[in-house]
């Protein structure tokens, strides 16, 4: 008997490029889950059009009053019972009460190498104006703070002298489309272990590497803890 497929609900406010990439990865079974719903706070969001085209049901919730909006959203989530909530360019801050109801079940992606330039929607512009030489993006669990939850994966881009803020955004968005589906895949597969602020990836590659070392009679490598985190294959 096939395992029951897990369910993901995506929250988005913008154009929905990350949402579309995630939905396509789910349809291809790279992410072994169904996108059950798209929730948006904007009727004009491009993500809604993408959802319809991909056969995902979109729901728009007026977020002018956060308490009322979260109450409506919570009722919907209680019906859908998602295994994971994915924030894909959702431009609202969720209340601590909402987050605590879904502890370690909400993911977010932020366009900086957290904790740098956190808590802002202008992280790329701030990095550019600050003159940093490297920036990037971060996938993390959502906690009661803003952009402060445990980090799953980060990816970096160099900032060249002739780069503009727009060009940096293009570089970062390309990386987002790679690392966000990867992080979602690992969470859905149960290959994430959280220890305080540390997130460890429990991957088959680690097991295979361990078995190879044992067969070669090199247990001393394991004893010296020289097996570093598994290689990430996007």
133: domain CATH number is: 3.40.50.170
Please indicate, yes or no, whether residues 83 and 152 belong to a single structural domain of this protein.
no
Domain count, the chain: 3
Please indicate, yes or no, whether residues 16 and 97 belong to a single structural domain of this protein.
yes
Compute φ and ψ for 217, nearest 5 degrees: 70, 35
H or E stretch including 37? Answer: strand 33-40
| Per-residue pLDDT, 4 | 83
Compute φ and ψ for 52, nearest 5 degrees: -60, -45
Collapse the DSSP code of 200 into the 3-class scheme (helix H, G, I; strand E, B; otherwise coil) and give the result: strand
| Per-residue pLDDT, 223 | 34
Structure tokens at 106: 């909400």
Residue with tokens 């305080």: 196
CA–CA separation, 131 and 154 (whole Å) = 20
Domain of 80 in residue numbering reads as 1-102
Q: Say what percent of the chain tops pLDDT 70.
A: 85
CA–CA separation, 11 and 165 (whole Å) = 26
Please indicate, yes or no, whether residues 95 and 1 belong to a single structural domain of this protein.
yes
Q: Last residue of a domain, which of 102, 135, 161?
A: 102
From 110, 140, 173, 177, the catalytic residue: 110
Please indicate, yes or no, whether residues 8 and 87 belong to a single structural domain of this protein.
yes
Please indicate, yes or no, whether residues 20 and 87 belong to a single structural domain of this protein.
yes
What average pLDDT does range 148-171 have in this prediction? Answer: 94
Q: Last residue of a domain, which of 76, 102, 128?
A: 102
Q: Last residue of a domain, which of 102, 127, 143?
A: 102
Please indicate, yes or no, whether residues 11 and 72 belong to a single structural domain of this protein.
yes
Please indicate, yes or no, whether residues 53 and 70 belong to a single structural domain of this protein.
yes
pLDDT in tens, 101-146: 999 999 999 999 999 999 999 999 999 999 999 999 999 999 999 9
Please indicate, yes or no, whether residues 120 and 155 belong to a single structural domain of this protein.
yes
- Check pLDDT > 90 for residue 39: yes
| Per-residue pLDDT, 38 | 98
Strands, E assignment, 19-113: 33-40, 58-60, 84-87, 106-110
pLDDT in tens, 186-232: 999 999 999 989 999 887 554 444 343 344 333 333 333 322 233 44
Q: Does the annotation mark 110 as catalytic?
A: yes
What average pLDDT does range 76-105 have in this prediction? Answer: 96
DSSP 97-131: HHHHHTTT-EEEEESSSTTTT-S-S-HHHHHHHHT
With a CB cutoff of 8 Å and minimum separation 6, the contacts of 83 are 6, 7, 8, 33, 105, 188
Please indicate, yes or no, whether residues 227 and 169 belong to a single structural domain of this protein.
no
- 9 and 82 Cβ atoms separated by less than 8 Å: yes
Please indicate, yes or no, whether residues 19 and 116 belong to a single structural domain of this protein.
no
Please indicate, yes or no, whether residues 18 and 95 belong to a single structural domain of this protein.
yes
Please indicate, yes or no, whether residues 64 and 14 belong to a single structural domain of this protein.
yes
Average pLDDT along the chain: 87
């Amino acid at each position: 008997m096939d395992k029951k497929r897990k369910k993901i609900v995506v929250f988005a406010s913008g154009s929905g490029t990350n949402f579309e990439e995630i939905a396509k990865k789910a349809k291809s079974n790279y992410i072994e889950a169904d996108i059950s719903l798209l929730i948006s706070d904007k009727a004009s969001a491009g993500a809604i059009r993408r959802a319809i085209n991909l056969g995902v049901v979109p729901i728009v919730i007026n977020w002018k009053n956060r308490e009322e909006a979260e109450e409506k959203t919570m009722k919907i989530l209680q019906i859908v019972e998602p295994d994971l909530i994915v924030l894909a360019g959702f431009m609202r801050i969720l209340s601590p009460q909402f987050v605590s109801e879904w502890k370690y079940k909400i993911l977010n992606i932020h366009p900086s190498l957290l904790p740098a330039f956190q808590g802002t929607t202008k992280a790329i512009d701030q990095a550019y104006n600050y003159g940093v030489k490297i920036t990037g993006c971060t996938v993390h669990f959502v906690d009661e703070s803003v952009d402060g939850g445990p980090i799953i994966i980060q990816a970096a881009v160099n900032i060249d002298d002739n780069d503009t803020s727009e060009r940096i955004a293009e570089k970062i968005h390309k990386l987002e489309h790679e690392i966000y589906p990867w992080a979602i895949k690992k969470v859905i597969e149960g290959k994430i272990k959280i220890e305080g602020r540390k997130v460890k990836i429990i991957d088959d590659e680690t097991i295979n590497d361990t078995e190879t070392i044992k067969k070669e009679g090199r247990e001393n490598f394991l004893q010296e803890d020289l097996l570093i985190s598994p290689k990430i294959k996007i």
